Amino acid sequence: MASDLPVTAEGDKESGLGNWKNLGYELFKEKFGDEVFETKRKTQYQFPSPFFGKAGLSWNTTLLKVAFLTPAYQTTKRGSHGNGVGASGYAKIVDNPQFPQDSFFQKGRMFKVRLRHANVFYTDDTVTDGRSIAIKFDDTELGGPLDLICNTGRVGPFCNLPGTLAFGKATKSGPEASEKFCYETPANYMTLIENVRRHTESYADQRYYTQMPYVYTPEDGRKRLAKFRVIPRDLKPETGLLSEEDQRNVWNLLLNRRPDETRSESYLRDEYKERMKKGEVHYTIQIQIHDWDSEKDSDTFFSVMHYWDNHPWMDLAHVTATTLLTDLDAEKTSFSLYNRPALLDFVKAKNQYDYNSIAHARLAAYDASRKVRQYTRKAKEPENTITYMVSISTSESKERKKAGTNDDVFLTIIGTGGRTSKNQLGTVFYDDFEAGDTRVYKVQAEPVGEVIMLNLERAGSDDWHVSVIHVTNAETQDEVTFPCYRWVPNKVTLRSGAATLAFKDEHEELRLQRQIEIQERQSVYKWTTNEVYDGFPGFIQEDGHSSLPPDARFNNLKGRNFLEANIEAQKKYALSGFLEKFDNWERIGDYVQIYQRFPEDLDMNPVDSIVELWQKDEEFGRQCLNGINPVQISRCNTIPDNLPVTNELMQKFMTRGKTLHEEIHDGHVYILSYEEIGGIPRFNKDKDERFVAEPICLLYVRASGQLVPIAIQLFQTPGETNPIWTPDDEWGWTLAKLHVKAADAQFHQLYAHLTKTHLIMEGFTMPMMRQLPSVHPVYKLLLPHIRHTMAINTIGRAVLVAEGGTVDKTMALGGGGHMVFLRKMFGKFKMVEYNFPEFLKHRGVHEVDKLPNYYYRDDGLLMWDAISNFTDGILSLYYHSDGDVQNDDELQAWILEIHERGLKVWPDNDDHDVPTTLKTFQELQQLMTSLIFNASCQHAAVNFNQLHYYAFAPNYPMTTTAPPPTSKDVTYEDVCHALPTKKLATEALTISYTLSRFSDDELWLGEFPDEHFTEDTAKKVIAQFGHDLKDVSAKIHERNKKLRQFPYTYLLPQRVPNSIAI
């Protein structure tokens, strides 16, 4: 219930009152006797009839506004809570809330905050007065999602608007008027004692209360009432409570400084500043909730002068003040009851005597005072200033359209010893912040100690992409670099460039800022809830490319190149339209006519050679090792039970005179198997029926080192209608190989390419954006290698795999089968497939002497070693032991989210072997090497050669248009009939052309124009990486001199982009 304030705080151990007693009622009774006391107590909340209703409310509100506006006009100060001291910092909602869940006070949520302490009425800190704290849930002067305004005292000294005016008039009119006010009712006496403090030691040890109740509506929709208070986190006893002697003469303590007072007028503000210089100041915000029954509850629950019995205080948030505001910024920061989330509200007042009239009047008065002060305030020049030279580089327009801005730009420098005021940057008669510009600005400001962060703000609606900012102390010449390389929202906080781990950050503000940055990213990078993609790696929630966060989208040049390639390809496709008069080709060689119509901006020499050699077994074997899908082949350790080949059947195709069993033992027999295609629906719509086999292909390494196919079975179950094909079968052998290639195309496009590079990399990328701050070394290390990956995947989901997309237009498993296949293959994925050397061993293809001429393997190992040295060099700068890895909570949150969301184990999936924790440096280093290798080298190896191998459809059809043969009476016409139609072939060529192109702004492996690492030690490692890649390139070039017809160039460092962006 709501009742009179108890004289003690017994039962509320966090109140800080200890054994202190409020003697107001006792002293009133002592003065007037029991009878008068009881009479006054019974009638003290009885008020005159509000004859004028809302008119009376309006008039009294106007009087209060005048009381607040007068000092605002005369002195530019607030009407109350005048001189103050401010700080910025952070608030975090508790992790285990005991209050109802809601959309604003979400557990663990972080807020930047500003807070301000002040005296309620008097500018002299020594005068007996109320003390206050106001907390803004944002680091800004105005606005914000919530402002809490709290004063000392469990209850307030007035309960309605006339009482507010009477109290203000009495306390400013002198001792006699204050004494008269106290003796009007026992409640007046008691609440005045409750609110004021005399010998306060610090603002930081007080308890502060909103006193006014809010209507609180959490997620369950039930309306409740809520009050808030702010207490010191260390629960230090509250100082300044009035002694019995002071309570007897409280009216004599107000208004004027005592004659015997020796303390400074600003001693509380000075003490708080000194406290902040020594470290952070910690508070706890608590909430008190009443289950409101609007029909049964008394109106006294809304009374500021009434206390809620039996309503426990619950921790709501922990607040850490980290940095002092300048006096100017503290004064400019305004707090308003209008700043509140939708779940907090006030009941509308009916008249001036309504308990809710206080909230009504404060809303109006505070806001009016703020507006007046905003226009009358005179900027106070700071003392003891130094000069900071600030260099800001705006990004190049070639890469990013509209990188420059015409918005007003503001900068706040934050250091270990404070922060500057917000400074507007700009040059008279100069168009600042144009694309490609670097300009230096002079900032005259208070010294802030070691510069550690910047607040960068812009006012307006322009975009702005900033590369880097340098801040130099003009006196000491100390320079701090702030990498940005991102689109700047209206407000962003930048850290200095040195990478650090959270537990090694020296300053609490830096540690808290990491959490804020992660939280902000998590609100933007959200996991998809699209059930269509259940069973897939996790990806970002999006509604098309334009809905992506700005930094995840294609830049202007990349997007334009992608569009131009599509348009050019479609144009050539239209020119080939006359070829569609007939569905099938009369001659296999006619397929050449399609790719010859494409532009000459791509090297087509390999295609010409493939057209000449595609039917040869040696070319088939070469492509298994060094073609579009070099990851399918595995060593055959035993002949599968479902492939009934015999030594007699195979003997003539083996060149060493050994038995099949002996050749298998010696490592000369290899296998391709496509059993996963079994049970997957094929495309069959609108008289367009497509086919793909589920073959097994046996291959043999000749004594010359050439790999050739020696046996093919087109389905997994042996039988009379599923013969084993050999090189003796003439056109049947050609057709069998064609079906193997068609099956391989499904695996290449949908698994080796789409799933294993694009989709799985996004499963790592999303947790990186959601769990690692930009200062984290792993974030800095991986960022260049996830560039544009989410953008191309978003377009890919819309253009490639969606219904009616490219897969439907080109592939045998289109029409929905591809979605089943993608789920099936991701369900089988294991992390060993991302570790290049281990996956080679896993497939048994790692031994050069047994499987020569495997240039994808050889070059891949060279690249892996270079990347491994690079990741080891970078990571060892920051992780000095396995313990550092284990203690990195951000890193552990990243790998856990990969396990739980990015590479989620869906029902019926195999475990992907993604760990839930990283325990050793070696684990981390191997994982980083794997991710960078797959984002760069592996994607390059299976993507940028697509046009070479798919251009001539008979070489690598994405589908066949006739079912696999069931008998060996195959003719040339059967081969032609099985090949893709002209339309299918042209569609396949179109997408191959688009995907095989490099962008004009491509960044090759080892090129890092965005210098996220600013430390010299890291730059040396990056430079060494560049040298290592040059060595790799030289070795590949030297080897390729011997491979005149088909040099393997797909893993040349200068042809390997940093990331998956096409």
DSSP 408: E
pLDDT band at 316 (very low <50, low <70, confident <90, very high): very high
Largest CA distance in the chain: 124
CA distances to 497, 615, 850 from 672, rounded to whole Å, are: 49, 18, 17
Band (578; pLDDT cuts 50, 70, 90):
very low
Q: What local confidence, expressed as pLDDT, does residue 1046 receive?
A: 94
Q: Per residue in 117-142, pLDDT tens?
A: 999 888 899 998 899 999 999 999 88
The pLDDT of residue 513? 92
What does the H/E/C string look like for 81-113? CCCEEEEEEEEEECCCCCCCCCCCCCCCCEEEE
> Is pLDDT of 556 > 70?
no
Structure tokens at 240: 């300044």
Phi, psi torsion values for 250, nearest 5 degrees: -55, -35
Q: Which residues pair with 228 in a beta bridge?
A: 287
Tell the burial category of 967 from Cβ atoms under 10 Å away from its Cβ (0-12, 13-18, 19+).
exposed
Q: Kindly report, residue by residue over 760-791, the tens digit of the pLDDT.
A: 999 999 999 999 999 999 999 999 999 999 99
Dihedrals φ, ψ of 884, to 5°? -65, -40
Q: Kindly report the average pLDDT of the chain as a whole number.
A: 89
**Residue at token pair 């010449």:** 477
Of the listed ranges 32-41, 519-528, 683-692, 1025-1034, the one predicted with least confidence: 32-41
Q: How many helices (H) and strands (E) does the chain have?
A: 33, 28
CB 792 within 8 A of CB 801: no
What pLDDT was estimated at residue 595? 66
At residue 73 the predicted structure's pLDDT band, cuts being 50, 70 and 90, is low
State the angle between helix axes of 836-843 and 855-875 in degrees (0 to 180), rounded to the nearest 10. Answer: 140
Mean pLDDT of 667-690: 96
What pLDDT does residue 214 have? 93
- The answer to whether 740 and 695 are in contact (CB under 8 A) is yes
For residue 178, give both structure tokens. 């204050």
379: DSSP letter: P
Position 71 pLDDT exceeds 80:
no
Please list, in sequence order, all residues whose beta carbon lies within 8 angstroms of the beta carbon of residue 30, skipping any fewer than 6 positions away.
none
Q: Could you tell me what percent of the chain has a pLDDT over 90?
A: 65
pLDDT tens sequence across 584-621: 667 887 777 776 665 555 566 788 889 999 999 999 99
Mean pLDDT of 551-567: 64
pLDDT of residue 128: 86
CB 729 within 8 A of CB 968: yes
Q: Are 935 and 768 in contact (CB under 8 A)?
A: no
How many other β-carbons are positioned within 10 Å of the β-carbon of residue 344?
A: 20
CB 248 within 8 Å of CB 166: no
In the predicted model, is pLDDT for residue 288 greater than 80? yes
DSSP assignment string, 663-713: HHHTT-EEEEE-GGGTTPPPPEETTEE-B----EEEEEE-TTS-EEEEEEE
Is residue 901 classed exposed, middle or buried when 0-12, 13-18 and 19+ CB atoms within 10 A define those classes? middle
Judged against a pLDDT cut of 70, whether residue 475 lies above it is answered with yes
Residue 136 · residue 149 · CB < 8 Å: no
331 close to 250: Cβ distance less than 8 angstroms: no
At 46 the pLDDT is 76
Task: Give the residue among 563, 561, 571, 562 at the shortest CA–CA distance from 986.
Answer: 571
Q: What is the 3-state secondary structure (H, E, C) of 890-936?
A: HHHHHHHHHHHHHCCCCCCCCCCCCCCCCCCHHHHHHHHHHHHHHHH
Residue 80 has a pLDDT of: 66
| 220-274: pLDDT as tens digits | 999 999 999 999 999 999 999 999 999 998 888 887 788 888 899 999 999 999 9
Say how far apart CA 511 and CA 494 lie, in whole Å.
Answer: 13
pLDDT score of 672 = 98
CA distance 503 to 518: 16
User: CA nearest 470: which of 512, 440, 505?
Assistant: 440
Most confident stretch, 153-167, 349-363, 959-973: 959-973
Q: What is the mean pLDDT of residues 1004-1016?
A: 94
CA 665 to CA 669: how far, in whole Å?
8
Measured distance CA(467)–CA(433) in Å, rounded: 11
Tell which residue, 556, 547, 508, has the closest CA to residue 525. 547
Alpha-carbon torsion angle 166, 168, 174, 177, nearest 10:
10
The better pLDDT of the pair 331, 560 is held by 331
Q: What is the mean pLDDT of residues 1029-1044?
A: 96
Alpha carbon distance 708, 699 (integer Å)? 5
Q: Taking 80 as the threshold, does the pLDDT of residue 8 lie above it?
A: no
Fill in the amino acid letter for 184: E
Give Cβ neighbours of residue 683 (< 8 Å, ≥ 6 apart). Answer: 689, 690, 808, 811, 812, 813, 814, 815, 817, 959
Please compute the mean of the pLDDT values over residues 996-1003 and round it to a whole number: 85
Quote the Cα angle for 1003-1006-1008, to 5°. Answer: 60
Contact 446, 473 (CB under 8 A): no
Q: What share of the chain is helix, strand, coil (3-state, %, to 5)?
A: 40, 15, 45
Q: Give 521-525 contacts, CB < 8 A, sequence gap 24+.
A: 521/769, 521/770, 522/770, 524/549, 525/549, 525/552, 525/766, 525/769, 525/770
pLDDT at 582: 45
Q: For residues 11 and 130, which has the higher predicted lDDT (pLDDT)?
A: 130
What confidence tens digit (pLDDT) does each residue in 326-367 have? 988 998 898 988 899 999 998 887 887 777 777 776 776 666
User: Could you identify the residue written with the tokens 């699209």?
Assistant: 530
pLDDT at 575: 46
Segment 843-893, tens digit of pLDDT: 999 999 999 999 999 999 999 999 999 999 999 999 999 999 999 999 999
Query: Nearest 5 degrees, angle CA 813-CA 816-CA 819?
Result: 85
Residue 558 has pLDDT above 60, yes or no: no
Instruction: Using pLDDT thresholds of 50, 70 and 90, give the confidence band for residue 78.
Output: low
Rounded to 10°, the helix 161-171/54-75 angle is 30
* Per-residue pLDDT at 626 exceeds 60: yes
End-to-end CA distance of the chain: 66
